[in-house]
Amino acid sequence: MVDGLARSVGLVISGTPAPSVATGRDEVVVRDFVSLAGAVYARDPLWVRPFERSLYRALRNPPQTDGRRQELFVVRHGRRPVARACAWSDAISRAAAKGPTGYFSHFEAHPDADAVHALFDAVRAWLRAEGITHLIGPKAAGMMEPPGVLVEGRGRPVYGTPYNPPYYPGLLSGVGLEKYVDLLDFTLPIASGYPRITRLAGLARARFPRARVRPVDLKEGFEADVHSVVEVYNAAWAHNWGFVELTVDRLMATARELRPVYRPEYAMLLELDGRCIGFAMMMPDFNEVFHRIRGRLLPTGWFHLLFGMRRIRTFRAFFIGLLPQYRSAGLEAVLIEALLRVIWARRVDRLHVGWIKETNYLWRNEVSAFAGVAPGTAHKRYRLYSGEV
């Protein structure tokens, strides 16, 4: 009670200054925002340090697509940054059916409940002023930023998955946020054959003899393929957790980011009579290399980057989706089989499959069987939180 009152009026208790919140994109705010993660994970050998230069660029010049509004928040005790978050919304989230929705992302904090209270007071106040009534997160606007907080399972994070200290769930519950949805993550050892998939893929091909699978075109047909993927994604995930409509601009921004390290065979398009009806996408676990580089290209990081990428033997499956009218017909097996051919050719030994909503039992049961874990369990569990603004 006293602590809460002290927080609200900015009193100093026992010589500890009340936390102050800074916002904006000036040099000091962005510097503190970026450097905080390094301090939080200073003694954590599993953390994968991001490339700070690209984070600086992204924070200073956020894309203005889809009517996005965004603000950075840094909480300091004295001059020391202790908590941070980004709050954002866009035209699509503001028109969400259950009410104007905003998100928080890039959440990092020391185990300091006062600081996190101050952070979310500020985030909520900013969102309220934007007309937002619901808050969900952590979820970034960028497609490749991992959503959620790790609440179960440990180990070095795979590329595109969340990683955080174990005290984060307690901090977020402490500011009135509740579980919104859990996403499950599985690690599958790669076998030399999958008779069930091969058989079903064969049956599906017999049923749809004109169905064709091909790698994404990164050259002349790239733009057309991006449009196709956006169409399938929006139809396939329309009823999925926290669905945010994908736009061509947003996917193009992600594709441009990935283009230097992406290869056509990492994404497969399934076409029927020339129309894209499904796609699947995977990527090497770039964190195998990024973990060694520790966010620095010099003096030896560039060497690891250049030669290490080819030796990555762990992949991550990101998406597999079909237009709703083609589900339950075995066509997902055709896509999986196409990815498996690439996996075998690259001598990949493990595949991480994640972002599986816990209530999606059909997909969850399938992946947990291949992963060899008991139904209802997973290797890692990530949680998205929600609350009123």
326, 355, 382, 385: residue in contact with another protein (rule CB under 8 A)? 326
Q: How far is the CB of 136 from another protein (least distance, A)?
A: 20
DSSP collapsed to 3 states, 166-210: CCHHHHHHCCCCEEEEEEEEEEEECCCCCHHHHHHHHHHHHHCCC
40, 48, 172, 197: residue in contact with another protein (rule CB under 8 A)? 197
C-alpha–C-alpha distance, residues 323 and 130, integer Å: 35
C-alpha–C-alpha distance, residues 357 and 354, integer Å: 9
Where does this chain touch another protein (CB under 8 A) — which range of 12-20, 53-61, 76-84, 358-366?
358-366
Where does this chain touch another protein (CB under 8 A) — which range of 71-79, 116-124, 136-144, 325-333?
325-333
* 31 vs 357 by CB, closer to another protein: 357
Residue 8 near another protein by CB under 8 A:
no
Residue 272 near another protein by CB under 8 A:
no
Where does this chain touch another protein (CB under 8 A) — which range of 111-119, 266-274, 293-301, 353-361?
353-361
CB 21 within 8 A of CB 122: yes
Residue 90 near another protein by CB under 8 A:
no
Beta bridge partners, 279, equal: 269, 321
Q: How far is the CB of 30 from another protein (least distance, A)?
A: 42
203, HSE (Cβ side, Cα atoms, 13 Å): 11
CB 320 within 8 A of CB 143: no
128, 154, 196, 296: residue in contact with another protein (rule CB under 8 A)? 196
C-alpha–C-alpha distance, residues 122 and 283, integer Å: 37
Residue 210 near another protein by CB under 8 A:
no
Using alpha carbons only, how large is the chain's radius of gyration in Å?
A: 22
Q: How far is the CB of 315 from another protein (least distance, A)?
A: 20
Residue 327 near another protein by CB under 8 A:
yes
* 135 vs 371 by CB, closer to another protein: 371
Cα-Cα-Cα-Cα torsion 112, 117, 122, 127, nearest 10 degrees, comes to 120
96, 158, 333, 335: residue in contact with another protein (rule CB under 8 A)? 333
Q: How far is the CB of 309 from another protein (least distance, A)?
A: 32
What phi, psi does 66 have (nearest 5°)? 55, 30
74, 181, 200, 348: residue in contact with another protein (rule CB under 8 A)? 200
C-alpha–C-alpha distance, residues 344 and 348, integer Å: 6
Residue 217, CA distances (Å) to 133, 235, 260, 268, 310 in order: 41, 21, 14, 9, 21
Residue 54 near another protein by CB under 8 A:
no
Q: How far is the CB of 323 from another protein (least distance, A)?
A: 9
Where does this chain touch another protein (CB under 8 A) — which range of 48-56, 138-146, 185-193, 357-365?
357-365
Residue 325 near another protein by CB under 8 A:
yes
Residue 121, CA distances (Å) to 9, 23, 309 in order: 13, 13, 42
Q: How far is the CB of 384 from another protein (least distance, A)?
A: 17
Binding track, positions 305-324, relative to another protein; x by CB under 8 A: -------------------x
C-alpha–C-alpha distance, residues 133 and 243, integer Å: 17
Residue 96 near another protein by CB under 8 A:
no
Beta bridge partners, 380, equal: 185
Residues that bind another protein (CB under 8 A): 196-197, 200, 203-204, 207, 324-330, 332-333, 359-366, 369, 375
